[in-house]
Amino acid sequence: MAEEDIPTWEEVARRYGRFLYSVAYRLTGNADDAQDLVQEVLLRVRRGLSSYQPGSMEGWLSRIATNAFLDDVRRRNRRPVELLPEDLDRSAPGAPSADEALAAAVLSDDVQTALSRLPEEFRVAVVLCDVVGLSYAEIADRLGVPTGTVRSRIHRGRTMLRHALAGGAR
């Protein structure tokens, strides 16, 4: 493939910034972590752009974003897997930042609120399926789990979402 098909780092940042931020926001569930994740992804892109094989730039970026997110989760071990409380409601703890408030006004905030409160493993599976558009096999490969686990996480994640939305966020 011709070299000119590989965009510069600045072009990637400008052209795919919205996509990256959207994926990052869905994965992390808040604006601050999403911005940190985007920055980390852009740094990794800068280092790895020469090894990029022209093809699906969004697929490549989402892989980097997912890896960076999972690296961060493993490193910080910040949120152990827990069952979603039965009485999930809309009242998120703490005041939202200005960016979060802005983002909430732009997107479907009830869905985002419910999504943000999903346990991480379910949220990641649902986001990779419904936002990034990966197949179950691709998600399984990316997360290093069997396809049956992906199937279960996606269905349970969607079930939690609809219960949350029907129970108070709608």
Residues that bind another protein (CB under 8 A): 10, 13-14, 17-22, 25-26, 31, 35, 38-39, 42-43, 46, 99, 102-103, 106-108, 111-112, 115, 126-127, 129-131, 135-136, 151-152, 154-156, 158-159, 161-162, 165-166
Among candidate residues 104, 10, 27, the one with its CA nearest the CA of residue 66: 27
By beta-carbon proximity to another protein, the closer residue of 43 and 89 is 43
Q: Min. distance of Cβ 65 from another protein in angstroms? A: 13
Q: Which residues of 22-32 are buried (b: 16+ CB within 10 A; e: fewer)?
A: bbbbbbbbbbe
Measured at the CA of 109, the angle between CA 138 and CA 154, to 5 degrees, comes to 25
Would you say 36 and 71 are in contact if contact means Cβ atoms under 8 Å apart?
no
Q: Which residues of 84-103 are buried (b: 16+ CB within 10 A; e: fewer)?
A: beeebeeeeeeeeeeebeeb
Closer Cβ to another protein, 64 or 129, answer by number: 129
Shortest Å, Cβ 2 to another protein = 26
Supply the minimum distance, in Å, between the C-beta of residue 120 and another protein: 16
**Smaller CB separation from another protein, 60 or 153:** 153
* Distance in angstroms (rounded) separating the CA atoms of residues 132 and 75: 24
Closer to another protein at the Cβ: 68 or 127? 127
Q: How far is the CB of 54 from another protein (least distance, A)?
A: 22
